[in-house]
Amino acid sequence: MAGCEIAVRLQPRARANEIVQERDGVLVVRVTAPPVEGRANDALCRLLAKRARVGVRSVSIVRGAGAREKVVRFEGIDLEGLRRALGLSGSG
């Protein structure tokens, strides 16, 4: 089964849940949830799962759960498919 990991910079307490852009190979994502009791991380996983068209359980934070810079793992989708689903260009 295919799987991949991407680097994410999370900005909690934003006005909207959105994938902003890719900056130096790091995906910048904003969520409305506060960074309390893992709520921002949950919102991040839900947003990325929806955009990548995979189940929420297929998305997990493998590094940086308590930091803004995170590594997120996706199961059931390869990197090329993920980048397409998230609307990212072919090159980082």
| Token pair of 60 as six digits | 């997990």
| Token pair of 12 as six digits | 């909690």
| Structural domain boundaries, residue 34 | 3-85
How many folded domains does the chain comprise? 1
What is the CATH classification number for the domain harbouring 19? Answer: 3.30.1200.10
Would strands 18-23 and 26-30 be described as parallel, antiparallel, or unpaired?
A: antiparallel
Residue 92 lies in a domain: no
pLDDT in tens, 38-54: 999 999 999 999 999 99
pLDDT in tens, 50-74: 999 999 999 999 999 999 999 999 9
Residue 91 lies in a domain: no
pTM over 0.75: yes
